[in-house]
Amino acid sequence: MAFWSSTSAFTSKVPRKILFMFTLSLSVTYLFYSLMSCYNSLQFPLQENHVYQARVVTEETTSVAFREKLYSTTTHAYIDEDLIYKTSTVQTVTGYVVSTVDHSEDAESKRRETEWVGTPLAHTEMIAGGLNAVSGREHQESSTIDDDLSRRVNCTPDYGVKKLPQAIIIGVKKGGTRALLEALRVHPDVRAVGVEPHFFDRNYEKGLDWYRDLMPSTLEGQITMEKTPSYFVTNSAPKRIHSMAKDTKLIIVVRNPVTRAISDYTQTLSKRPEIPTFEVLAFKNRTLGLIDASWSALRIGIYALHLESWMQYFPLSQIHFVSGERLIVDPGGELARVQDFLGLKRIVTDKHFYFNKTKGFPCLKKPEDSSAPRCLGKSKGRTHPKIDSDVIHRLHKFYKPFNMMFYQMTGQNFQWEQEEMQ
């Protein structure tokens, strides 16, 4: 009774409105702390769930997502020509019949060439330089060494695993192998080592583990590639590559053997200015017209001889031939055929190239993420020395039977004899 009497006395003294406000504030405060407690209890499990989900993402889903991002992004690179050489033996070849390619493909190639060369390109979309790059800086053009370019061109980070190459550019020196490789590296599904490993001709004793470790990491669906043009003229290379993987795809860039020999000599001359003239090295006896086929610059161009060694281990269906001449006048067409051969989607097309009239060669367009255009180093595109026309005529005559045999073996007519008539 005392408690209720005291309570009645208290409530009678305190206004009911103030009591109501006090009770309401206590209720709101309790509700606020209750909600905060619930939020904290919900927040941390959610964060843990995100961590768990991140952990269980499979490598396959990561690979798919990453490759989709690559496909949605236009990738560009810089193109130039790197050329490398080697040697073998000589045999006499006569009486071979020329086998020609489909004329419809030739017509299509010529149409593509005309359209591509004749299409103007805005100045802001172009970069100076190309397959015949020169030294110095011109029209905001800067040069870079091959190693630097190899780090810049292929944008795929080192995710995935390292694998032995499924495709190799095996030749030929001074044919346009560097130009082809750098154009292929624009493709998001191609991963290639920048330097030439020379594994199957110089470093074979180091073993396949050493060779594999040189390769870039690849995701599921990507192709690992390398290029070493001296493989084509190395007698032991076909068997060694076949022992590594008999299903390896081989790419050979060929060029008019006379032009190739002069380019080869030019490269050597730039390093050793004291060597004899081209004419002296090319002939055993110029008066009698005896060609010195033991000279490596000439021996490399006997393509049929070297190809015979490769066809002992690989069927023609696993060897793709790229015309070094068409790679200049119709790069999109040549790259389309190479991508088909490799089983790739045609990502690298005509739209990636423009024709630089000053240089006389195609270039790859400037990448979107680059602030300054770059081309390959000054070692590319040297000016050839003037060679006597009689020497060139004799060399064409020397190579003709070998060329005819090569046309028959490959089923393609590269039409090098027509160049002499022109």
384 is in an annotated binding site: yes
To the query of whether residue 163 is one of the catalytic residues in this protein, the response is no
Handedness of CA 199, 203, 206, 210 (dihedral sign): negative
175 is in an annotated binding site: yes
Catalytic residue (choose from 86, 174, 249, 366): 174
289 is in an annotated binding site: no
177 is in an annotated binding site: yes
Kind of pairing between the strands at 223-227 and 290-291:
unpaired
DSSP for residue 346:
-
E strand map for 46-149: 142-144
41 is in an annotated binding site: no
Residues 6+ apart with CB under 8 A from 292: 281, 282, 283, 284, 298
333 is in an annotated binding site: no
174 is in an annotated binding site: yes
178 is in an annotated binding site: yes
φ, ψ (nearest 5 deg) of residue 174: 60, 25
Residues 6+ apart with CB under 8 A from 63: 159, 160, 219, 220, 221
Give the distance, in angstroms, between the CA of residue 192 and the centroid of all CA atoms in the same chain.
Answer: 6
Q: State which H helix or E strand residue 211 sits in.
A: helix 208-214
User: Measured between alpha carbons, how far is residue 375 from residues 78, 117, 191, 283 in Å?
Assistant: 6, 20, 20, 37
**Distance separating alpha carbons of residues 182 and 289, to the nearest angstrom:** 40
**Distance separating alpha carbons of residues 194 and 214, to the nearest angstrom:** 10
Could you list the residues known to form a binding site for 3'-phosphoadenylyl sulfate, using ranges. 174-178, 255, 263, 380-384
Enzyme catalytic residues: 174
